[in-house]
Structure 1
Amino acid sequence: MPFTVGDVVAERTVHLTRESLVRYAGASGDFNPIHYRDDVAAAVGLPGVLAHGMLTMGIASSVVIAALEPGARVIDYGVRFTKPVVVDPEAGADLQVTATVAAVDDTATRIDLKVVFAETTVLVKAQLRVAI
């Protein structure tokens, strides 16, 4: 798949619920109660139950991976976490992911991810490098 700088590779909104967090905790083994108990989150000064950072990171990359051709390889992926994703017990939380081609060379394409929750960017320097 030929890429051009500025191309939007993928866009998706992913809805998280408290059930999503419980399922992720079971799959990852991360049972920190800030991810499922309001009382514990409040006791440590958090604004509410938070999505796991690795869940947020995984969702962001999955948006790109789903848009790539079969056989494409992610050769590098990194992010910096800046803000938490608070998952409301009733409304949940929507993560908006936009993946844009930022650089192309002879061996790889860098795709920058914009990940937003409640009009706030929650990951910065979120970048994947994909082998061509």
Structure 2
Amino acid sequence: MKIQVVAVLLFALSATEICEALNFFQKHVVPQMAPGDCNTKMKVINEQKKKCKPINTFFLDPKGVLNGICNHGNKKPTMNIDLQIIDCKVDNKTYPDCTYKSVPGKATSVTVLCDQNKVPYHLEDVKRAGRK
């Protein structure tokens, strides 16, 4: 019986870690996205907190460059990248009818927060080409 309880607990912890990783990647990493897709993408994100998020950055990462960002043991890693991004900036803040304008750009580095299991859970900073 003890082994079954331990197995269930380990499974539950693993599921939580997987969900955290999926949440980070669902919120910020896509293989492709058209600038006009902000309203659709943000609707899913806004449903979690029942309000319009002011801004969200999506990395267009078809090759999975960001997949191993937490693999080096650093809780706040920065990775130099060369990825197209789309910033979705809120235009209408009336939930659930949030609307967004798209601002395409290019990211040169990204910093995330990683948990003790090397799972990214928060986008900390993005350096954009042409901005200081």
TM-score (norm 1): 0.29
Specify which structure has the bigger relative contact order, considering alpha-carbon pairs within 8 angstroms and separated by 6 or more residues.
1
Q: Higher Cα Rg: structure 1 or 2?
A: 2
Decide which structure has greater helix share. Answer: 2
